[in-house]
């Protein structure tokens, strides 16, 4: 039996996972927790790294389509929705999955 993909599943497949790319600027970053920021300083550092990344556009699309949390493509996401840093920085780090 062949499964039929929903429109959402198809759109998810169209954007490659930025974490698979050797070109990503956050690869081997010494402090990966800044991409799950709990302070304005961490958020600013993550945004700075993303600003120099060639994958920034597709990374943000990935976060939107996969309902991600944290900094992706230089923006802060909550469940795939871009949010202002003021609202999104809770001061608490999410437990590791
Ligand atoms: S845009 Fe930012 S989070 Fe996304 S791959 Fe590049 S450096 Fe990493």
67 located within any domain: yes
Q: Which atom of ligand 1 is nearest to the CA of 21?
A: 5
The alpha carbon of 36 and the centre of ligand 1 are apart by a number of angstroms equal to: 12
Which pLDDT score is estimated for 89? 76
12 located within any domain: no
Residue 15 · residue 58 · CB < 8 Å: yes
Average pLDDT over residues 71-94: 84
pLDDT of 14 over the 70 cut? yes
- Number of structural domains the chain divides into: 1
Residue 59 · residue 50 · CB < 8 Å: yes
Residue 93: partners with Cβ closer than 8 Å, 6 or more residues away: 33, 36, 38
Q: Please count the residues of the chain.
A: 97
Which residues form the domain of 36?
A: 32-88
- Its pTM stands at 0.82
CA gap 87, 49 in Å, rounded: 21
CA gap 73, 61 in Å, rounded: 8
Q: Measuring from each residue's beta carbon to the nearest atom of ligand 1, which residues come in under 6 Å?
A: 18, 24-26, 35, 49-50, 53, 55-56, 59, 72-74
Which pLDDT score is estimated for 88? 63
The alpha carbon of 4 and the centre of ligand 1 are apart by a number of angstroms equal to: 31
The alpha carbon of 49 and the centre of ligand 1 are apart by a number of angstroms equal to: 7
Q: Any idea which of 13-17, 36-40, 52-56 has the lowest mean pLDDT?
A: 13-17
């Amino acid at each position: 039996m062949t499964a039929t993909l929903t429109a959402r599943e198809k759109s998810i497949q169209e954007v490659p996972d930025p974490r698979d790319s050797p070109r990503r600027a956050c690869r081997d970053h010494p402090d990966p927790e800044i991409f799950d920021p709990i302070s304005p300083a961490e958020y600013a550092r993550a945004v700075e790294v993303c600003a120099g990344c060639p994958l920034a556009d597709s990374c943000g699309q990935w976060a939107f389509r996969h309902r991600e949390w944290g900094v992706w493509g230089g923006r802060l996401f909550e469940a795939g929705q871009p949010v202002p840093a003021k609202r999104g920085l809770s001061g608490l780090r999410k437990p590791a999955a």
